[in-house]
Structure 1
Amino acid sequence: MTWTLDDPINLGSLRLKNRLIMAPLQQYKGTLEAFPIDHHIEHYGRRAKHVGLVILESTAISPNGRLWKNDIGIFTDQHAESLRKVADAIHAHQTPAFIQLSHGGRKSSPEVTHSLVAPSAIAFDEHYGQPESLSAAGIQSIIEEYRLAAKRTVQAEFDGIEIHAAHGFLIHQFLSPLSNVRSDEYGGNSENRARFLKEVLLAIRGEVGRQYPVTIRVSATDYCAGGLNPEEWVRMLKPLETELDAIHVSTGGLLPIQPSDVHSGYQLPHAAAIKQHVNIPVIAVGKIYTRSLANRILEDQLADCIAIGSPLLEDPDYAERLLNQEHASNRG
């Protein structure tokens, strides 16, 4: 059976009305204390009408893991209360909403971070500076922050969680051998490097239960020899597959390296490579901006859902037009 953007799909227990997802992209509009403002309510509510799912921008689980000085967070109950208003605006269109939970690790904002931490004392660049290698106690403290963030996500009446394990942030740093040179149980082989992710995921599951949707965003390649690739990701994710409801496949961010060729669907081969080996939905992202390309990806079973980001920032009605492109051309 072939699928199109219009077809519904299940992410775990959640039924999406179509396969078009609003990808998480920063607004750079949060307060200095990481609270959302009226802009976030209007922005997400305005764009929720036609997509099957809205994934909120990266939301910090810790005041010490914020990605930018003007991002948003969910590290207090007051943050959850403010974020509920954003969820309500999205739900007004009968569209579900996920929060993307993140910790920046060595890429946390120097402007609001008091103690830069990472799996190993390896700097991303001079701007961020050298982080401190996390102790076992420090690791457990951050896992607890993820658990509490998951609890607050439910309190804020969001419909699911996306774990941010991409773009060079803390979980990605643990997973890649380029940024994790630990010699304890959190470093070395792929099983050990995935231990932090596993413990974060199980802590979240212990809080929200198995029926609450939890997905993960990954960077399928580090664009550098010796870094992560789809095959390595499959080795690390397969043991966790029963605890996840979808895999959202992006690329890069671990190192200050950019892909040499950014074209329509440039990240798709990585999503397709991972999809061959998993039994949960795979979300493709990366300049998939036409209905014809999106439908071809779905029909060829290279991915199960399509996420779009930048066009929705510029045009709140972009999703409606994308979904109607084929119908309009047929009428023409």
Structure 2
Amino acid sequence: MTFTVNAPINIGSLRLKNRLIMSPMQQYRGTPEGFATDHHIEFYSRRAKHVSLVIVESTAVSSNGRLFHNDIGIFTDQHVEPLRKITEAVHSQHTPIFIQLSHGGRKASPDVTKQLVAPSAIAYDDYYGTPKSLTPAEMKGIVEEYRLAAKRSVEAGFDGIELHAAHGFLLHQFLSPLSNTRTDAYGGTPENRARFLKDVLLAIRAEVGRDYPVIIRVSATDFVQGGLTPEDWVQMLKPLEPELDAIDVSTGGLLPIQPSDVYTAYQLPHAAAIKQHFSIPVIAVGKIYSRSLANRILEDQLVDSVAIGRPLLEDPDYAERLLIP
């Protein structure tokens, strides 16, 4: 069977009208307390018409895990109502919307974070400084913050959740051996390094049930020897596949290292390598900006869906051009 960007697809229990997804992009327009604003309502609803799914920018599960001083959060019940206004606006365009749940860990903003935390006391760089190594009790507390964030996500009207395990934030920090040197049950082997992610995922599943879509964003490579590779991700995520509904593949962010070259569809080979091992949909992102390229990727079954980000910042109707034959 041949697929194009216009073909529908299921992510878990949710039927999407096409295979074009709006990737999460930080807006830097939250209040000092992490509340969403009218900007977010207008921004997301304006871009929701043509894509099959909107994924909201990184949303903090903890006041101690915010990525920026002006990001948005879902770490109190008071955050629900401003977020509900976004979901209602996007739903008015007949498009579903996911929330991306995150905790910055050692890359949380020093401007609004009382204490940087991480699996191990290893600094990202001098700006962020050395984090505190989490105790098992503190880890349980963060798992509970994820569960409560999932509960609030449902209350706010989101149609699904994306767990942010990419770009060097807390879940990614636990998964990579470069940032996790623990010697307890949460460090060492790939299975142990994936244990914290498993705890978070199962806590969310206990809250939302199996029919509620939960996907994960990953950084397929750390761009350095000894870091994570697509093969490592397969090993860690395959046991969790029964609890996941899709894998959204990005790259980098664990270290202050940039890819040597950013070219058209530069992250696609990593996504394609991961897709070979999973039956759930795999989403590719990264400079896939033309209909012909997106269709060729889907026709060759390299991935199942394509996400676009930056072009939508400049042109809210950009997705329409990728959908019109």
What corresponds to 2:84 in structure 1?
Answer: 84
What corresponds to 1:313 in structure 2?
Answer: 313
What displacement does 1:182 show? 0.2
Answering whether residue 119 of structure 2 is matched by residue 122 of structure 1, we say no
SS state of the match for residue 217, structure 1? Answer: strand
1:264-303 matched pairs, under 5 angstroms: 264-303=264-303
Q: Distance in 2 between matches of 1:138 and 1:296?
A: 46
What corresponds to 2:32 in structure 1?
Answer: 32
What displacement does 1:77 show? 1.0
What corresponds to 1:154 in structure 2?
Answer: 154
Which letter maps to 2:10? N
1:50-129 matched pairs, under 5 angstroms: 50-129=50-129
What corresponds to 2:254 in structure 1?
Answer: 254
Where in structure 1 are there 5+ consecutive unaligned residues? Answer: 328-332
Q: Distance in 1 between matches of 2:69 and 2:151?
A: 24
Q: Distance in 1 between matches of 2:255 and 2:2?
A: 38
Q: Distance in 2 between matches of 1:103 and 1:164?
A: 8
SS state of the match for residue 216, structure 1? Answer: strand
What displacement does 1:322 show? 2.0
Which letter maps to 1:292? S
Q: Distance in 2 between matches of 1:111 and 1:47?
A: 31
8 Å CA contact retained: 2:116, 2:130:
yes
Q: Distance in 2 between matches of 1:228 and 1:157?
A: 34
Taking structure 2 as the reference length, the TM-score comes to 1.00
Q: Distance in 1 between matches of 2:319 and 2:46?
A: 11
Q: Distance in 1 between matches of 2:2 and 2:27?
A: 35
Tell me which stretches of 4 or more aligned residues in structure 1 moved more than 6 Å.
Answer: none
Answering whether residue 177 of structure 2 is matched by residue 177 of structure 1, we say yes
Q: Distance in 2 between matches of 1:292 and 1:127?
A: 42
Q: Distance in 2 between matches of 1:123 and 1:77?
A: 32
Q: How many residues align?
A: 325
Identity among equivalent pairs (%): 75
Taking structure 1 as the reference length, the TM-score comes to 0.98
8 Å CA contact retained: 2:101, 2:164:
yes
- C-alpha deviations, 1:151-188, integer Å up to 9, x for none? 00000011000000000000000000000000000000
Q: Distance in 1 between matches of 2:113 and 2:313?
A: 27
Where in structure 2 are there 5+ consecutive unaligned residues? Answer: none
8 Å CA contact retained: 2:220, 2:252:
yes
Q: Distance in 2 between matches of 1:67 and 1:295?
A: 34
8 Å CA contact retained: 2:121, 2:132:
yes
What corresponds to 1:330 in structure 2?
Answer: none
What corresponds to 2:20 in structure 1?
Answer: 20
What corresponds to 1:6 in structure 2?
Answer: 6
What corresponds to 1:134 in structure 2?
Answer: 134
Q: Alignment RMSD, CA only?
A: 0.4
Which letter maps to 1:240? L
Q: Distance in 2 between matches of 1:263 and 1:323?
A: 22
